[in-house]
Amino acid sequence: MKRILCLLSVALLAVASWAQVSYDVIPLPRSIELSPKGEVYQLPQGAVVTYASGNEAMASNAQLLAEFLKTDAGFEVVPQADAKPAKKQFIPITLSLGLENDNHEAYQLTVNKKGIVIQGVSEEGVFRGIMTLRKAIGTEGGESISLPYVTIKDEPRFSYRGVMLDCARHYFPVDFLKEYIDVAALHGCNNLHWHMTEDQGWRFEVKSMPELAKKGSIRKQTVIGRNTGVYDGQEYGGYYTQEECREIVAYAAKRFINIVPEIDLPGHMLGALHVYPELGCTGGPYEVWPHWGVSHDVLCAGNPKTLEFLKKVLGEVAEVFPSKYIHIGGDESPRDRWKQCPKCQAKMRELGLTREAELQTYINKELEAYMQKKGRDLIGWDETLEGGLSEKAIVMSWRGTSGGIQAARQHHRVIMTPTTYCYIDYYQLKDQWGQPLGIGGYLPVSKVYSFEPTDELNEEEAKYIMGAQVNLWCEYVGYPQHALYMLLPRLDAISEVQWAPKGQKDFDAFKTRLPRMLKLYDKLGYTYCRKFE
Ligand code: ACM
Ligand code: ZN
């Protein structure tokens, strides 16, 4: 009897601790095969995580796994290169390369009596697998963790899985950018689109033009509410030094996130025009805007100094950011000043252009030629389609998906980020009572989740869709907690859009998986929206 009771309690204990581990994480892995017999592997505190020596990225992966388990679950594992098991023993966690798959981010995670193995096609794939293990373990460690035997095979659907942060309307501290990167990595994103320049502030240090960030980052005050005409009377500023940018790039790289910097041109340029008014069609003076909206004052396309200025800026951007893709904005750039400007009109005659939109294409082509020499491709918002795209341009479709569809049909690469599914500056709850003031709109988690980035495209055209991204514009978002509140849990929803094979999402199942993620957010101190629709 005693023995039976004892066995029963061991079994109950196993069931109780199993409940802690669930491979039904977000984004959901493609294939999860649990052992039908239900065996568990006991991962002990202090377990070794091994990897082959001589690979810095794998060492960093092991180190990060140890950090994650410590902060999430208070659980200790110990990285050790080339660890050798004692006789008839196995190393508890092995990180390795050599998985064969066309997708370089693919990984396989197995748990059986020999322990836990995460094998990737690349170091990046191993990192994605580490994130799955981390989320499967969740928040509760204990003396050991009981992991059900499993084989997980996973790879992301899209190669570009982005999240954007507008650090121009409001400046966010470097430490918060790192946290934002952590959150993005937790969700399997691989690109942070960093919006750095605006009418309301220029936030990227350009060493050859030190005044640009020093003066262009400062607005005299900020409007209260939605362009009420009432201002707070407080000077507002802040910019990122190149050293800080490099620090952020390196931090992100360890988490396999690429930073795509955006210098928005030729519109949204009052930060720069305030410092260099000669670059505008009217000559200014211009102020760094203290309110929101779209300025009619943009860079003069007919002034040769404009291209010199932009090349200097983008040259330094390329030195600081190793990204293959550099974003040159191009949205909301009214062309009425160009219509009135003798220099712009003369330029159009010289180039034989008939529409002002083509002037924007002329600038983009010049910049593309310049940046191609540095091995970089340019991304632009969908307005860049209007005057014709430059040869290698990538389109970021935001005014719906039609621009992206048009670009894909012209065989241009596309990132889908339509307002209707991806603008997380919109409210996430229908009832706005008690919500922090926002720009308007309504974009619940369910709507983000329902996004299909290749709708209306045939299989051939769909190949040009690199991926999808959520955008957090920050006119009304001035603090880190608020930014995270807008992001979570809508980032969970987009992460399954980015990862799940076409047609394989299930919102009801997603909702059952979400509470474990929220528990992790609580543990990590992330602010998030506790209701979702
Ligand atoms: C945008 O939302 N203006 C790209
Ligand atoms: Zn002009």
Assess whether 305 and 400 both reside in one domain. yes
Q: Is 332 in the pocket of ligand 1 (CB under 6 A)?
A: yes
pLDDT on residue 389: 92
Q: Is 398 in the pocket of ligand 1 (CB under 6 A)?
A: yes
Assess whether 83 and 216 both reside in one domain. no
Q: Name the residue of 398, 475, 477 to mutate for ligand 1: max ligand atoms within 8 A of Cβ.
A: 398
Q: Is 461 in the pocket of ligand 1 (CB under 6 A)?
A: no
pLDDT on residue 14: 47
Task: List, in sequence order, the alpha helices (H) in 328-442.
Answer: 336-340, 342-351, 357-372, 402-409, 419-422
Residue 530 falls inside a structural domain: no
- Domains in the chain: how many in total? 2
Assess whether 118 and 261 both reside in one domain. no
Task: Give the pLDDT mean for 126-139.
Answer: 98
Q: Which of 120, 154, 188 is the last residue of a domain?
A: 154
Residue 517 falls inside a structural domain: no
pLDDT on residue 140: 85
Assess whether 337 and 359 both reside in one domain. yes
Assess whether 69 and 180 both reside in one domain. no
Q: What is the CATH number of the domain that holds 388?
A: 3.20.20.80
Average per-residue pLDDT for the chain: 96
Q: Are 472 and 163 in contact (CB under 8 A)?
A: yes
Domain that holds residue 317: 160-506
Q: Name the residue of 331, 333, 379, 475 to mutate for ligand 1: max ligand atoms within 8 A of Cβ.
A: 331
Task: Measure CA 75 to chain center.
Answer: 28
Q: Is 377 in the pocket of ligand 1 (CB under 6 A)?
A: no
> Closest Cα to atom 4, ligand 1: which residue?
331
Q: Is the pLDDT of residue 404 over 60?
A: yes
Which residues does 429 contact at the CB level (< 8 Å), separation at least 6? 435, 444, 529, 531, 532, 533
Q: Which of 154, 188, 207 is the last residue of a domain?
A: 154
pLDDT on residue 454: 98
Tens digit of each residue's pLDDT (9 = 90 or more) over 423-482: 999 999 999 998 999 999 999 999 999 999 999 999 999 999 999 999 999 999 999 999
Q: Which of 154, 184, 206 is the last residue of a domain?
A: 154
Tens digit of each residue's pLDDT (9 = 90 or more) over 9-30: 545 444 444 458 999 999 999 9
Residue 515 falls inside a structural domain: no
Task: Give the pLDDT mean for 104-130.
Answer: 98
Strands 414-416, 394-397: pairing is parallel
Selected residue with higher pLDDT from 361 and 88: 361
pLDDT on residue 17: 43
pLDDT on residue 15: 45
Tens digit of each residue's pLDDT (9 = 90 or more) over 172-184: 999 999 999 999 9
Q: Is the pLDDT of residue 56 over 50?
A: yes
Q: Is the pLDDT of residue 341 over 60?
A: yes
Residue 516 falls inside a structural domain: no
Task: Give the pLDDT mean for 254-258.
Answer: 98
Assess whether 216 and 271 both reside in one domain. yes
> Closest Cα to atom 1, ligand 1: which residue?
331
What letter does residue 503 receive in the DSSP assignment?
T
Q: Is 400 in the pocket of ligand 1 (CB under 6 A)?
A: no
pLDDT on residue 19: 52
Q: Is the pLDDT of residue 136 over 50?
A: yes
pLDDT on residue 164: 98
Assess whether 41 and 61 both reside in one domain. yes
% the chain with pLDDT above 70: 96
Confidence bin at 391 (pLDDT 50/70/90): confident
Q: What is the CATH number of the domain that holds 140?
A: 3.30.379.10
- Whole-angstrom Cα distance, residue 400 to residue 397? 7
- Per 3-state DSSP, the chain is made up of helix, strand and coil in percentages (nearest 5) of 40, 20, 45
Q: Is the pLDDT of residue 5 over 80?
A: no
Residue 496 falls inside a structural domain: yes
Residue 198 falls inside a structural domain: yes
Assess whether 141 and 195 both reside in one domain. no
pLDDT on residue 10: 47
Ligand 2 mean position, distance from CA 109 (Å) = 58
Q: Is the pLDDT of residue 61 over 70?
A: yes
Identify the three-state secondary structure at position 530. Answer: coil
Assess whether 148 and 171 both reside in one domain. no
Assess whether 116 and 179 both reside in one domain. no
Q: Name the residue of 164, 199, 381 to mutate for ligand 1: max ligand atoms within 8 A of Cβ.
A: 381
Assess whether 467 and 484 both reside in one domain. yes
Assess whether 122 and 241 both reside in one domain. no
Residue 528 falls inside a structural domain: no
